[in-house]
A and B are shown apart, each in its own frame.
Chain A
Amino acid sequence: MSFYHFSGKCERRALSHPLFEAVPQASLRYAMGASVKEERFHTPYLRQYPKQAWDMQWEQGRRNMKFIKKSPWILHYDGSSCNGCDIEVLACLTPLYDVERFGVINTGNPKHADILLITGSVNEQNIPVVKQLYEQMANPKAVVAVGICATSGGIFAECYNVIGGVDKVLPVDVYVPGCAARPEAIIDGIVKALAILEEKQNDARKSFTLRKESGLLWNSK
């Protein structure tokens, strides 16, 4: 998939709030003690949010309204890799695995997508591309790094131009291990990402109601 060129300027008025950007950056997580080594060999690694009692209450109240879990649309992007994982992502759509059973649609469009599946490592050339794709997705959104390349750079980690895993650039939510990642593992990763999407949606709602109550919303005059 080549460079996406969409109309650059978009006003995010409806739901832009620091809470959306409150996802800890990768570097921060490493500072907090997570290491690449640990993540590499776990089955899809899930970033844990600290839960509070009112989080739980909110979730229970909203449990019946989680349509995002029923129709996750994905966008896949292949960074610098051997292309093996990308083909496995497409294998998920074939009759054998058929992710459309879960409502997953492979959109070619960041503005429609909920989950960004990135295979392959990040290099100097594709940093702006990856960032742009992520920024063009509508909130709530999740990032899934598929394969060891996307997790840490994999066998390309030592290359002169490779920066490392996707988490050097984007806040990655789920890591899917494997070289190549098996379709089952990828589907598992998508399912894990759904839980995170749900949480992000709750955060968005909370911030929305908070701002509405405090009169900070652009249309709440």
Chain B
Amino acid sequence: MFILSVIMIIILAPLAGGLLTGTDRVITARMQGRQGPPVLQPFYDVFKLFQKESIEVNLMHRFYVYIALIFVMFTTVIMLTGGDILLAIFALTLGSIFFVLGGYASNSPYSLIGSERELMQMMAYEPMVLLTGIGLYYADKSFFIKDIVSGQAPAILSLPGVFLGLLFILIFKLRKSPFDLSMGHHGHQEIVQGIKTEYSGKDLAVIEITHWYEVVIALTLVYVFFATRAPVSSVFAVLACILVYFLEIVIDNGFARTKWQFALKSAWIVTGVSGTVNLVVLSFFR
């Protein structure tokens, strides 16, 4: 039964992620006054990439991307089966690190700069991700997601500040506009496509699928904040996920890309103020 659910998660999570990405593209197009591609467009893209030639720059180049995919899949499985949130966070970080190494593997200046920016972005968002895990433990006295989502009251009630911080760093995680420094979804940026620059064919498709898993992981983190023991709360939690995703799309379309200094500073200020203050206040009440 457990094996079956793991297989279901591995298959269904990227489907959901791909659909969300497709909806994202349609909504973005509508916001810009365009009609936009069909909702299934991300799937067409990925299937096309699988049919294209993969150019190998060197032997290790594609290896890192596949390892990153495996770790991100592992994280998704842990999170959706209600596992340990700390383990999930660390596996996710490891996946991101392998992805960065993939950028460093080729000698292209664009992917090198992309990797450096990606490391900088990780520096910006990792503290808040850790604080989210710690905060959830503080609120529910357990690191296990299945305990957190079956608490009495939703975690958001005791962790509004942490949730705000999470919303902020999800812009990094979902690679949305003010902070999509290392690689954007849109072509024609100053470093071409950042880490993705040297990847083509199957390897690029794998990067895309990894991103779908990451979308699911990001929204699961939001879900955890709203779900409680009552079954009806999962409806609210899913609604919250959809709202958050929409908010991120609005932010994506509403802001121009910032410099890395601003990205780093603002992320740390938000983490320091809303995350830490929330935890300090919480520690008084417990």
- Residues of A near any B CB (own CB < 8 A): 5-7, 9-15, 65, 67-68, 70-71, 95, 98, 100-103, 105-109, 111-112, 114, 136, 138-140, 201, 204
A7 contacts B34, C-beta separation under 8 Å: no
- Give the number of chain B interface residues (Cβ < 8 Å): 38
> What is the minimal beta-carbon distance from B34 to any residue of chain A, in angstroms?
4
Asked if B93 lies at the interface with its beta carbon under 8 angstroms from chain A, I say no
Q: In the complex the two chains form, is B193's CB within 8 Å of A109's CB?
A: yes
CB contacts (< 8 Å) of A201 on chain B: these are 51
Interface residues of A, dominant DSSP: loop
Contacting residues, chain B, for A111 (C-beta < 8 A) = 55, 197-200
Task: List chain A residues, Cβ under 8 A from B34.
Answer: 95, 98, 100-101
Q: Is the CB of B108 within 8 A of A95?
A: no
Residue on B with the closest CB to A94? Answer: B34
Known contacts A12-B55, A107-B193; is-contact A138 B44 (Cβ 8 Å)? no
Assess whether B53 is in contact with A14, with CB atoms less than 8 Å apart: yes
Q: Please provide the chain B residues from 130 to 174 with a CB less than 8 Å away from any CB of chain A in the complex.
A: none
Instruction: Pick the contact of A7: B107, B187, B192, B201 (CB < 8 A).
Output: B107
A108 to B187: give the CA distance in the assembly, Å: 5
Most A-side CB within 10 Å, residue of B33, B35, B48, B108:
B48
Not counting A100-B36, A107-B193, a sample of 10 additional A-B residue pairs whose C-beta atoms are within 8 angstroms of each other reads A11-B57, A14-B56, A95-B33, A98-B29, A103-B45, A105-B187, A107-B187, A108-B192, A108-B193, A138-B52
User: For residues 223 through 282 of chain B, which have their beta carbon under 8 Å from a beta carbon of chain A?
Assistant: none
CB-CB nearest in chain B for A70: B44
Residue of A nearest to B202 (CB): A14
Contact of B53 among A12, A101, A109 (CB under 8 A): A12
Determine whether the beta carbon of A71 is less than 8 Å from that of B44: yes
Interface presence of B5 (CB below 8 A):
no
Q: How far is the CB of B253 from chain A (nearest CB, A)?
A: 13
Question: CB < 8 Å: which of B35, B51, B106, B204 contacts A101?
Answer: B35
Q: Interface residues of B: mostly helix, strand, loop or mixed?
A: loop
**In the complex, what residues of B have CB within 8 A of residue A95's CB?**
32-34
The answer to whether A109 touches B187 (Cβ under 8 A) is yes
Question: Separation in Å of the A61 CB from the closest CB of chain B?
Answer: 14
In the complex, what residue of chain A is closest to B194 when comparing beta carbons?
A109
A–B pairs, 8, beta carbons within 8 Å: A10-B57, A13-B56, A67-B44, A103-B37, A106-B187, A111-B198, A112-B193, A138-B54
Cβ contacts B78-111/A at 8 Å (1 or 0 each): 0000000000000000000000000000111110
- Complex contact B51–A67 (CB within 8 A): yes
Q: Which of A14, A67, A98, A108 contacts B36 (CB 8 A)?
A: A98
Which residues of chain B are within 8 angstroms of A103 by Cβ–Cβ distance?
37-38, 41, 44-45
